[in-house]
Structure formats: structure tokens, C-alpha cells
Amino acid sequence: MATATTRRDTKRQVAQEQALSLLNLTPKQEGYLHELRDLFQNTSDESERAEILDAFVEIISKDNGNSAEGDASAGVSTETKTLVEEYHRKVGKEIRKRRHATGLTQVELARKAGIPQSHVSRLEAGRHTPTHITIKKLAKALRTQPKMLDPGFDF
């Protein structure tokens, strides 16, 4: 009986820690969670759902800026952050360029790729990093190779 009580107490403690983490999210983190929820609800691809869940857990398990450990960008130079942002924009511009070349709207591309239009918009604006699965879906919908959208795509 003591073991069952201990497990129940441990589960309750974990749930309380998760709830506290959710209550302390920044508005930016809340926005990411809403986006992830929408992506999760709009895909039936199990591997993409698993990636979305991993991202969700990563956000809620962070220390919300209370320590360097909770900030994924802690210790990353401004130059590196800028280079990453530029790369996101480069991938986004390539997606937009290919979409325009095929005569598709964002809505049409989203439908063909099986992703939400809002996700296409965020990708094209360079505000989101596409997963390998998303790059493959977009490349197929745009009738091109994944490497043509994301030069860093390696498989």
C-alpha cells in the first residue's frame, strides 16, 4: 500500500510542477504552445506528431528564464543567433520563391503539403524552423527536392 501511495504522491508532484511551469510561461512561449497545438491537431502523421510533442515538452519543461539552464540560447553569441535567424529567413524565402514559381497560394500549398496555412506563413517569414518531415512535404507539394528548399537538408 505504501508503494501505491508513493507513486500517487510522485505523480501528483510531477503534475504540480508541470502546472506551475505552465502558469509561469512567457507570452512568447504561450504563443509557441498555441502554434504547436494547432499543428498537432492538423496532422495525422505520427512522426510529426511525436516531434510536435517533443517541442511542447521542451517548452513547458524549461525554467522560463529563471536560470541559464532554462534558456536554450544561453551562452550563444549574438552573431550565432543572427546567423540562425538569417538561415531561417533564407529557407523561408526559398519556399516562397518556389511557391510563386508553381503559381500556388499559401492555402493551396498548405493543402497539398498537409500542413496549416498559418504554418506556411510562419515558415515563409522565417519565424519558424521546419522539421525534416515538413520540408519533405513542402518539397513534394512544390515538385522539387528538399535540398532545394533547405540547403542543410541531408537525407
In whole angstroms, give the CA distance from residue 124 to residue 142. 14
Q: What is the pTM of this model?
A: 0.56
Cell triple for 101: 514559381
Over its length of 155 residues, how does the chain's per-residue pLDDT go in tens digits?
556 667 777 777 777 777 777 788 788 778 778 788 888 888 787 777 777 777 777 777 654 444 333 445 556 788 888 888 888 899 999 999 999 999 999 999 999 999 889 889 989 998 888 888 899 999 999 999 999 999 887 76
DSSP letter assigned to residue 69: G
